[in-house]
Chains A and B, each alone.
Chain A
């Protein structure tokens, strides 16, 4: 019983991180149809900014997280304007190559600036140790991940479903030409969504620094998981990837606990089976 709850808990915490990082990719993919392999770069940079601010300047955890989020969102905004924007109409191969090049450049820059080793995160005292609820003992950091993740996701869903901005994004995902013709400035919308997505990724990277280690190979190592979340969840949606991220987080945690000798074999097999069953993702309308 305790084991089941521990796995559930660790799996959900892991899934939250995957979701925060990947949701931006799903939205930008749905909006612009841009295959952005470099999405993990923004999560990594968020992690580096957060960890560096904390370790070198002694900035409190939450403030460092916010700074990482804002800085990386700004970077995403600039990159969208300078580079990505010019490649929206290009072939998938060009987009893959461009974003792969961006990954390599970022890996090199991070390696030069911070060295090849993973950056340790020194969590504040209130996130260390255990918290006991009724008769369950849970690690405080994971508990905070789940709580914080839930709050951000609730906010995101509110923006997406209940605000004019969210309605514009949904309209542009469904039919860009029609959205443009009723006066939605889609290129400004894209830039905003891109910045929002990269900011969320940075937040996920910083928050999850203790789950997905912050090292130069980050964008190469985890890219397949971010792509899985988006492909299994469905493009241009924010609920599908949530279900997919939780499923992947839970399955990965359970597999590593029960059959460690199989590594991630089951996850990849599971992904194949799901996508044979539903090639457009589990939650895809139509």
Chain B
């Protein structure tokens, strides 16, 4: 029997409420961005969508230890589902987004069942092949997807019947920010649940996890399906906010880029996606328009240097600096 004095309970309640309030502050600050920087809403929307996409990848790479080079396949699945539905007359944003999520989750489940029995190079190749397969299907099924020209005539009715997707992009901005907030909260709860901790256990040592009775295969397949659903949501959001779907959304280039964005920020840290995506997109915007070769060169050198010298990405470097400051002056 434990006893709490009323004051301790009240104090712990208020302190946790205050912490929660503090954690909301950055979100509120970002939500106020259109006031400070009008005209940047479309760019910010793209950043939110990519952060959401990177978060879904973090579940796999950072927590479950499943390295995938085909995550764009599921993103594109969501994007094409939402886009194709809208072309055929189903234009409600929420409904089409949910359809995108569902179809991506089912796709992820089917591929996951086939792929996750393998490991290492084979698994890596299969993740790649899964995205290549979807890309080829979208490329060849021109009647449905528009093939190389992309899907034309994508448009959606106002969100909740109230807020239209306009040229200024305010609706898209708040819509994608809200989706990102919900997904972030969901992922945070998920990784702190027993399920989330069992994923870390599998990442660190799957033999031991199996020995203590954890159903490894099932856990890996479930997390793959969840990450697929979230990637599908990101794809659907992109289709809705840009009113266009192209083959690029399924490409190996996107699969590679999103992995680099996540790693650049730091994987297995949740906040890595929030740092890596804006950093990558800003650098790409500045460098790639001059000459793609320079961009590739810079990116490649950064990747190599990071692996050799600074594992953990930008957040990892920051963590080490903070640790060094804390440890200063101690024996």
**Residues of A in contact with B (beta carbons under 8 Å apart):** 29, 33, 35, 37, 83, 86-87, 90, 92-94, 96-98, 100-109, 111-112, 220, 223-224, 227-228, 230-231, 235, 261-265, 268-269, 271-272, 275-276, 279-281
A5 to chain B, nearest CB (A): 28
* Contact (A268, B296) CB under 8 Å given A101-B302, A279-B117: no
* Contact (A227, B304) CB under 8 Å given A104-B297, A261-B140: no
Q: Give complex CA distance A60, B296 in Å.
A: 33
Q: Which residue of A lies closest to B311 (CB)?
A: A94
User: Are A265 and B128 closer than 8 Å at their CB atoms?
Assistant: no
Extra inter-chain contacts (17) besides given A97-B263, A104-B299, A265-B140, CB under 8 Å: A33-B120, A37-B124, A86-B308, A87-B307, A92-B67, A94-B311, A101-B299, A101-B302, A111-B293, A231-B121, A262-B140, A263-B140, A265-B136, A268-B136, A272-B130, A272-B133, A276-B117
Residues of A within 8 A of B256 (CB): 100
User: Are B122 and A275 closer than 8 Å at their CB atoms?
Assistant: yes
Residues of B within 8 A of A107 (CB): 293, 296, 300
Chain B positions 137 through 164: 1 when the CB is less than 8 Å from some CB of chain A, otherwise 0 = 1011000000000000000000000000
Name the residue in B67, B122, B133, B304 with the highest tally of chain A Cβ atoms < 10 Å from its Cβ: B122
The answer, yes or no, to whether B114 is at the interface (CB within 8 Å) is: yes
Residues of A within 8 A of B132 (CB): 224, 264, 268
Residues of B within 8 A of A272 (CB): 114, 126, 129-130, 133
A7 to chain B, nearest CB (A): 21
Residues of B within 8 A of A104 (CB): 296-297, 299-300, 303
**Residues of B in contact with A (beta carbons under 8 Å apart):** 61, 65, 67, 69, 114, 117-118, 120-122, 124-126, 128-130, 132-133, 136-137, 139-140, 252-253, 256, 259-260, 263, 267, 292-297, 299-304, 306-308, 311
User: Are B124 and A268 closer than 8 Å at their CB atoms?
Assistant: no
Q: Give complex CA distance A164, B65 in Å.
A: 39
Residues of A within 8 A of B65 (CB): 93
User: Are B128 and A108 closer than 8 Å at their CB atoms?
Assistant: no
Q: Give complex CA distance A37, B304 in Å.
A: 13
A229 to chain B, nearest CB (A): 9
Residues of B within 8 A of A271 (CB): 125-126, 129
B180 to chain A, nearest CB (A): 25
User: Are B67 and A101 closer than 8 Å at their CB atoms?
Assistant: no
A225 to chain B, nearest CB (A): 10
User: Are B293 and A112 closer than 8 Å at their CB atoms?
Assistant: yes
B5 to chain A, nearest CB (A): 48
21 chain-A/chain-B pairs, Cβ below 8 angstroms: A35-B124, A93-B263, A96-B124, A98-B308, A100-B303, A101-B300, A101-B304, A104-B300, A104-B303, A105-B296, A105-B297, A108-B293, A108-B300, A111-B292, A224-B125, A228-B129, A230-B121, A231-B122, A265-B137, A268-B133, A276-B117
Residues of B within 8 A of A268 (CB): 129-130, 132-133, 136
User: Are A264 and B303 closer than 8 Å at their CB atoms?
Assistant: no
A102 to chain B, nearest CB (A): 7
Residues of B within 8 A of A94 (CB): 307, 311
**Among candidates A29, A93, A102, A265, residue contacting B133 with C-beta atoms closer than 8 Å:** A265
**Among candidates A96, A265, A275, A276, residue contacting B69 with C-beta atoms closer than 8 Å:** A96
User: Are A98 and B304 closer than 8 Å at their CB atoms?
Assistant: yes
A133 to chain B, nearest CB (A): 36
**Among candidates A112, A227, A264, residue contacting B125 with C-beta atoms closer than 8 Å:** A227
**Among candidates B61, B139, B295, residue contacting A93 with C-beta atoms closer than 8 Å:** B61
B140 to chain A, nearest CB (A): 5
User: Are A108 and B297 closer than 8 Å at their CB atoms?
Assistant: yes
User: Are A96 and B67 closer than 8 Å at their CB atoms?
Assistant: yes
A234 to chain B, nearest CB (A): 10
User: Are A263 and B297 closer than 8 Å at their CB atoms?
Assistant: no
B245 to chain A, nearest CB (A): 19
* Contact (A35, B120) CB under 8 Å given A97-B306, A227-B128, A268-B133: yes
Residues of A within 8 A of B253 (CB): 220
A110 to chain B, nearest CB (A): 9
* Contact (A109, B122) CB under 8 Å given A98-B308, A279-B117: no
